[in-house]
Structure 1
Amino acid sequence: MQLEFTHLPEVTPVFSQFALHERILKAVAELKFVEPTPVQAAAIPLALQGRDLRVTAQTGSGKTAAFVLPMLNRLADLGGPRVEIRALILLPTRELAQQTLKQVELFSQFTYIKSGLVTGGEDFKEQAAMLRKVPDVLIGTPGRLLEQLNAGNLDLSHVQVLVLDEADRMLDMGFAEDMERLCKECENREQTLLFSATTGGAALRDIIGKILKDPEHLMLNSVSQLAEGTRQQIIMADHDQHKEKIIHWLLDNETFQKAIIFTNTRVAADRVYGHLVAKDIKAFVLHGDKDQKDRKLAIERFKQGGSKVLVATDVAARGLDIDGLDLVINFDMPRSGDEYVHRIGRTGRAGGEGLAISLITHNDWNLMSSIERYLKQQFQRRLIKEVKGTYNGPKKVKASGKAVGVKKKKVDKKTGEKKAAAKRKPTAKPRPNAPLASVDGMAPLKKRAPKPE
């Protein structure tokens, strides 16, 4: 299924022009929100009409308010006592869920709307007790929500509004079946809103076809426009130890308020963190092996300025909205263009400027080139003389940007002339009892036994 997106021009209305409940507008004014961002200006009027939406917009563009405000508006207009969960917001990570809860609480502060949070890493029984109080808005991650559902603690049959935020990331994390199950539990819903920072792939299109009804597709940014406020650079490195030296130089010499260093694995994150601590650089580390208490503490201290540096795996690539974060360093290149967009989206948020630096060894080159093609951009090559290495990229590069092997001709030691390439020897005939060769990755065919005479 090919999706048709509506590309909208930039508009600059004010929040008071939206048909929002007066108590919600009061909260918006209290928070000093005056002009909506482009994604808010495009999505809020359609959502207020009750339309199903599929919205693509870059990180830091204000997507959360774009779905929270119309959702709260629907609930604020409903009278009577609370007897059921009326809105569900699904998100991929605990950190993003916690930040979304804070946004919901701020925008609903002058209403009687109550919200609750259900994520992994928190006490299961305490969450069950909260669910018995029946919050109007429930925010959570798929895994723990299903656990509460299976335990009989959760009833979603009265949900009116379902929101899937960062749906592409939930699919990447293997939550496809969980998402479909939770969507089916909300079978009586009247509206579904799906937001993400990337266009996703076939799995996302499949989910959209199953859960959205005649949706409006809004694309506020094409892939090539994502994170366009962020300068993107690459620095060549010889190996991981050389990368660590480059990071130390960058932290000593770059002007920044806060920085995140991304790695692909928990082991690499701990190693980089240990290297920084050994160099007397105060830093925090964040990855999936850390329990929820440590993860909360690291993020809060980082936000409050207890350290200028956070080392993290992709568990922190989504949802972290931190003031003053203006430097992202990719110790490892992410494994996809979408992950790259989400990583560097931690900086240059809300129209600000940022710097994203990726460290590239020979193992990273082809991956980096594929991300350049995906973004339709070319990263700035940067050389730091003080920590210069020997690797300068592949000697031969295809037009696509991928490195290819270069065959060297042998040189005659006596004459100094290049030898002609040796002719390949004919392939030896297979032994009589040897299995037939495999073809295109298929298993070898077994040779038939001779028929008995």
Structure 2
Amino acid sequence: MHPDIVRALAESGIERTFDIQALTLPLALRGEDVIGQARTGTGKTFGFGVPLLQRLTLPGDGTPQALVVVPTRELCLQVSQDLENAGKHLGVRIASIYGGRPYESQIKTLRKGVDVVIGTPGRLLDLAEQRHLVLGKIATLVLDEADEMLDLGFLPDIERILRMVPDERQTMLFSATMPGPILTLARTFLHQPTHIRAEDHEAGAVHERTTQFVYRSHSLDKPELVAKVLQAEGRGLTMIFTRTKRTAQKVADDLTERGFAAAAVHGDLGQGAREQALRAFRSGKVDVLVATDVAARGIDVDDVTHVINYQTPEDEKTYVHRIGRTGRAGKAGVAITLVDWDEVPRWKLISDELGLGIPEPVETYSTSPHLFTDLGIPENATGRLPLSKRTRAGLAAEAEEDFGGTRRRRADTPRKRRSRQRRRTRGGREITPATRTDGGERTASTATDEAADTTRPRRRRTRGGVPHTPTAEHAAPADKEESTRGDSGERPTRRRRRRRRGESVGSANPANTTETAAEAD
């Protein structure tokens, strides 16, 4: 390995390889195609990241030389951070391309020039079709968590991306599980790949250092039960997984009301709020992260001691990835799964598929003695966190990044809004509205010249083709007789009659003629 990469990894505390890395690095460094399969949390990121960085031609010309495709935004940020740490002494330019952020900033980064692009399929295709992302010089392509991309429906997008990159390239595919469609994709687009499996069988996907507890719990008692579990001895950072976005937000709000420093990550939140929650969780400002399965893939956070499945996962693969957030990098962890009565059949399938031997979870409530014994919960624990233990800063202490376009400018006052209005002109002269008094009536300027320059000119009125000038002074609207007379006191011409349908312009109305004659007499 390149000495600068070794030095960067050593500064991060990484000095030895895991099994998947030891088996993958010799082949990947030679440029061969690789299919890497290993359980989550065993270092697959550096298994492809180190060869990718070492095979770059530096300094580059600004055109991307390597492309890493990931299924989720959170995993994109995680992989980007890992590669930046490993290549910080090489001067590698890395760009993260994913949805939820404005296009402009990502296009600007690509125009400045990058060496490695890491992104989600949808945004990568958008920028590639707009000719902002050039894929013609990609020498290394990585598909990370390929089975998750299959589950999310990204397989057609992946095939389109594979057809855009050059045929002469190194392709590496990494995942914890290898379903049939992914193997078919690998055989189609990879050139004589070597399939590396770090475990002997699928059941080995579950960490030996992760202690698993499964309880049958009623949905109405789950909030109280979880609140007591979060007060267990030795609990550090904790992740709680739900199946739905609404449940995730509800659980996070309930825990916050009970005094815990909790945050939520799910699809209904904006990208700024999702990144804010992850930053607060990594920095320790919040110690409970409630998330849907969007955060179950590849999120590597140090010191996650407990994982709680608030709702039973859909299948065994989701279960493996959820509990894989703890017990990472050789550390021990605790995984707790709460199974409702209607979820027992689904859990039985997961237990049988993984060989866990827990087909029937024990019925458990927030007051059950074995719950306190299993998890080391103090006997005096209640459903609320004591005030003396509320030491976390909370989510509000982490600033949310503003992507622009959604917030009103702070200095936007009514006066400044009026000053930004378009200036109106007529005949080359600026038009400004006449001033108003408190009563709402228009008032003229004290000087005639100023009034002519500043007041808006009135529309010229005509009657029978003859220009008509309205009177300058008006009496009270109630006095109709006076209000219709001008300065001379003479009655003005009667208002024009509205022409009726079917009446020509020159036609005469007998009634109107008689009335006019009588008036003339």
TM class, shorter-length? 0.7 to 0.9
Kept in 1, the 8 Å contact 2:60–2:115? The answer is no
Distance 2:168 2:82 in 1: 22
Structure 2 CA distance for partners of 1:66 and 1:111, relative to 1, 3 Å:
same
8 Å Cα contact 2:217/2:365 also seen in 1: no
Identity across aligned pairs (percent)?
Answer: 36
Structure 2 equivalent of residue 289 of structure 1? 268
Q: Which stretch shifts more, 186-195 or 159-168? A: 186-195
CA apart distance, 1:361? 1.6
| Deviation sequence 1:269-301 (CA, Å, 0-9, x none) | 122122212322221111011111111111111
- Structure 1 residue 22: Cα displacement: 2.9
Structure 2 equivalent of residue 377 of structure 1: 356
When residues 110 and 373 of structure 1 are mapped into structure 2, their CA distance, relative to the original with a 3 A threshold, is: same
How much is the aligned-residue C-alpha RMSD, in angstroms?
A: 1.8
3-state SS, counterpart of residue 96 of structure 2 = strand
The aligned runs of 1:43-442 (5 Å cut-off) are 43-75=24-56, 78=57, 81-199=60-178, 201-221=179-199, 222-226=201-205, 227-238=207-218, 240-379=219-358, 381=361, 386-388=366-368
Separation (CA, whole Å) in 1 of partners of 2:90 and 2:365: 59
- What whole-Å deviation, never above 9, does each CA across 1:392-451 have from its counterpart, x for those lacking one? xxxxxxxxxxxxxxxxxxxxxxxxxxxxxxxxxxxxxxxxxxxxxxxxxxxxxxxxxxxx
String of CA shifts for 1:40-76, please: whole Å, max 9, x gaps. 111001101211111111111111111111111111x
Paired residue secondary structure (2:341): coil
In 2 relative to 1, CA 386–170 (structure 1 residues): closer, same or farther, beyond 3 Å?
A: closer
Deviations 1:344-387 (A, max 9, x none): 00000011111111111221111111111221222495565653
Tell me the CA shift for residue 26 of structure 1. Answer: 2.9
Q: Any conservation in 1 of the 2:216–2:364 contact (CA below 8 Å)? A: no
Aligned-partner residue type, residue 50 of structure 2: L
CA distance 1:251–1:219, shift in 2 (3 Å): same
Aligned partners of 1:283, 1:122: CA distance in 2, in Å?
Answer: 24
2:12 pairs with 1:31:
yes
2:170 is aligned with what amino acid? Q
Counterpart amino acid of residue 377 in structure 1: L
Give distance in 1, aligned partners of 2:63 and 2:253. 48
- Amino acid of the residue matched to residue 210 of structure 2? T
Is the Cα–Cα contact under 8 Å of residues 270 and 285 in structure 1 kept in the other structure?
yes
| Separation in structure 2 between the aligned mates of residue 228 and residue 198 of structure 1, nearest angstrom | 18
Partner of 1:40: 21
Aligned-residue offset at 1:115:
1.2
How far apart are the structure 1 equivalents of 2:2 and 2:263? 42
Q: Shift in Å at residue 251 of structure 1?
A: 1.4
Does the residue aligned with 2:117 lie in a helix, a strand or coil?
strand
Please tell me whether the aligned partners of residues 100 and 270 of structure 2 are also in contact (alpha carbons under 8 angstroms): yes
Q: Is the 8 A contact 2:263 2:288 kept in 1?
A: yes
Q: Distance in 2 between matches of 1:104 and 1:178?
A: 24
Contact 2:70–2:143 under 8 Å retained in 1: yes
Structure 1 residue 235: Cα displacement: 0.7
Of 142-151 and 106-115, deviating more is 106-115
Which amino acid is 1:237 matched to?
Answer: S
Question: Residue 333 and residue 254 in structure 1: after superposition, are their counterparts in 2 closer, same or farther (change >3 A)?
Answer: farther
Equivalent pair of 2:221/2:365 in contact (CA under 8 Å)? no
Change (3 A) 1:243 1:130: same
Q: What SS does structure 2 have at the residue aligned with 1:387?
A: coil
Long gaps (5+) in structure 1: 1-19, 390-453
In structure 1, how many angstroms separate the alpha carbons of the residues matched to 2:365 and 2:152?
40
Contact 2:313–2:319 (8 Å) recurs in 1: yes
Q: Which secondary structure state, in structure 1, belongs to the residue aligned with residue 275 of structure 2?
A: helix
Residues 28, 253 of structure 1: alpha-carbon distance in 2 compared, 3 angstrom cutoff: closer
Q: Which of structures 1 and 2 has the bigger CA Rg?
A: 2
| Counterpart secondary structure, 2:305 | strand
Shift of 1:233: 1.2
TM-score of the two chains, using structure 2 as the length reference? 0.68
The amino acid across from 1:235 in the alignment is Y
What TM-score, normalized by structure 1, do the two folds share?
0.77
Find the aligned partners of 1:342 and 1:291 in 2 and give their Cα distance: 24
Q: SS state of the match for residue 273, structure 2?
A: helix
Would the alpha carbon gap of residues 320 and 79 (structure 1) be closer, same or farther in structure 2, given more than 3 Å must change? closer
Question: What is the number of residues matched between the two proteins?
Answer: 366
Distance of 1:335 and 1:121 partners within structure 2: 26
CA distance in 2, matches of 1:133, 1:21: 26
User: Is the CA contact 1:158–1:188 (under 8 Å) kept in the aligned structure 2?
Assistant: no
Q: For 1:290 and 1:323, how far apart are their aligned partners in 2?
A: 24
Q: Which residue of 1 aligns with 2:513?
A: none
Separation in 1, partners of 2:292, 2:14: 32
Name which structure has the greater RCO, CA cutoff 8 Å, separation 6+.
Answer: 1
Asked if the contact 1:159–1:188 (Cα under 8 Å) also holds between the matched residues in 2, the reply is no
Cα shift readout 1:321-347 (whole Å, capped 9, x = no counterpart): 111111111111111111111000000
